[in-house]
Amino acid sequence: MKRNTLVILALISMFMFACNKDKKDNENKAVEEEIIPNHELVATDNMTIIENADSDMEWDMISRSKIKLKGFELDKALKLLIGDSPARVIIEGEHANPVMEIEYEPIDVWESSQDGNKQIVLDSLQKFYDFEIVTENREQTVYNIVSTDNESLIPRDDQNLGTSSSLSGKIANYKNYTIEKLAKTLEREFDVVFELGLEDKGKYDVELNIVSLEKVLETLKTDYGLMIEKTQQEIEVFVVKF
């Protein structure tokens, strides 16, 4: 009887070991499949989508003529493609987050639009990644620009000229920018929400050290007289749900 018991225990141990091994092998296989290098998802005449791409970071301004995203993880790529500000896009749920390479060029540029191009790329991504996009009101940290000091913030006389920006190291120069355009630019740079609590149509030249958000806020206050309040408030955001 004792011998039979030992045999049964040995068989149970062997069975449990085999099950655990199979489980671990399956987990390892799943991980290997998830990180296939340069895994091409789409390759057509006007669209390329590759995950786990080995490329330098690159982002061409999304326009009616072309979309080009390289070196950004999926989360960041979605934030850039949805809406006008990545700071107003929230990603929720557990999911793989591969580095992406995305290029799209519409067949007919004159019949295309910026929003339409974005939507075509998002529709393609949804075929491979299980997510939905909804609009919700969420409480977020918001930096409110509530007032300016006219003695510190001097408007340009030649306001009809176009805007331009340049970057040297961490020093950014914004030429002929409205306060609203500057706020939207800083939203993209630091992934935080700015709101404009004033009416100001002037255009300005602003130089900022963008090493950190704290440094930017300090310079906007001391050098340009912008009063900015950090608040919690409910705003409309896009939510990506995996």
DSSP 27-48: HHHHHHHHT-TTEEEEE-SSEE
Asked whether the beta carbons of 114 and 80 are under 8 A apart, the reply is no
Radius of gyration of the chain from Cα atoms?
A: 25
- The alpha carbon torsion through 62, 84, 175, 202 (nearest 10 deg) reads 140
| CA–CA gap between residue 197 and residue 183 (Å, rounded) | 11
On the question of pLDDT at 112 being above 80, the answer is: yes
pLDDT at 79 over 80: yes
pTM as predicted: 0.76
Tell which wins on pLDDT, 52 or 24.
52
pLDDT over 70 (residue 15): no
Q: pLDDT-derived band of residue 35, with 50, 70 and 90 as boundaries?
A: low
Mean pLDDT of the chain: 86
Spatial CA neighbour of 203 closest among 177, 173, 184: 177
Average pLDDT over residues 64-80: 92
The DSSP-derived string for 108-177 is: -GGG--HHHHHHHHHHHHHTTS--EEEEEEEEEEEEEEEE--TTTSPPPS-TTSPPEEEEETTEEEEEEE
| DSSP single-letter state for residue 127 | T
Is the pLDDT higher at 235 or at 55?
A: 235
The mean pLDDT of 39-68, rounded to a whole number, is 84
- pLDDT tens sequence across 176-221: 999 999 999 999 999 999 999 888 888 999 999 999 999 999 999 9
pLDDT of residue 21: 54
Q: Which residues pair with 178 in a beta bridge?
A: none
Sign of the Cα pseudo-torsion (149, 151, 153, 155, in order): positive
SS3 content of the chain, % helix, strand, coil (to 5): 35, 35, 30
